[in-house]
Structure 1
Amino acid sequence: MPISVDRLEDEPEEALALEEGTQPYRILQFLAEHPDLAFTQSELAEETDINRGSVGAVLSRLEDRDLVRHKGRYWAIAEDDRLAAFAAQHTASAASTDDDYYES
């Protein structure tokens, strides 16, 4: 979906604007759920149902934005205040969904 040039110019680079359901969002969501673990690209592809060939490109873009980190073959969520807010938002959303599901 295209955006206006004005929005492009006004958007702060440090903004964490990820749309729910996109591949970058799904990878960050998974990594935020496992902040103390690191995964290979193959493991991320399997866990997120994203094509293995796409995972590398997504991780590279996320790394360019300092949202993930890696050493060797392993990738993990970056240590960043923006990501703490992202993880908290996802956790709250998941808890709300669970609460709704289990209500009688």
Structure 2
Amino acid sequence: MPISIDEFDSHDTAEETNAEQVIRFLARNADKAYKAVEIADATGINHNSIHPVLNRLHDRDLVRHREPYWAIGDAETVRNAAMVSTAASFLDEELGEERRSEWLAAAREERDE
């Protein structure tokens, strides 16, 4: 039995981060602005977690804010961020995830040379 495309899209095997859920919700509703509690309710994100998520997205220009409302940011900025995220996920799958400790160790070695 076939399913709707919306149901298909919601059956993502990889768990989305809170930030990804917020971006997806606001992008699908780009013609509206929402209060933080409305975004939390629509995405299932804990009410105590939504403001930190929104503030981080705002710092990256991925959402816009005019008290008390939030809306999706500039379409090109959001699209570019999504492309970087997709590329990073692909590379993690192909090459293994990067570890911060390895980056710091390599930087120390390079500095000490």
- Residue deviations 1:16-62 (CA, integer Å, cap 9, x gap): xxx86100000000000001100001100100000011000000000
**1:77-88 residue pairs with structure 2 within 5 A?**
77-84=72-79, 86=82
Q: Structure 2: which 5+ runs fail to align?
A: 1-13, 83-113
After TM superposition, the score normalised by the length of structure 2 is 0.56
Which fold has the larger relative contact order, with Cα–Cα distance below 8 Å and residues 6 or more apart in sequence?
1
**1:11-22 residue pairs with structure 2 within 5 A?**
21-22=16-17
Q: Letter of the aligned partner of 1:59 in structure 2?
A: L
Instruction: Calculate percent identity across the aligned residue pairs.
Output: 41
Q: Structure 1: which 5+ runs fail to align?
A: 1-18, 87-104
**Matched residues in 1 for 2:41 and 2:34: separation?**
11
Q: 3-state SS of the aligned residue for 2:64?
A: strand
Which structure has the highest helix share of the two?
Answer: 2
After TM superposition, the score normalised by the length of structure 1 is 0.60
Rg larger in structure: 2
RMSD over aligned CA atoms reads: 1.7
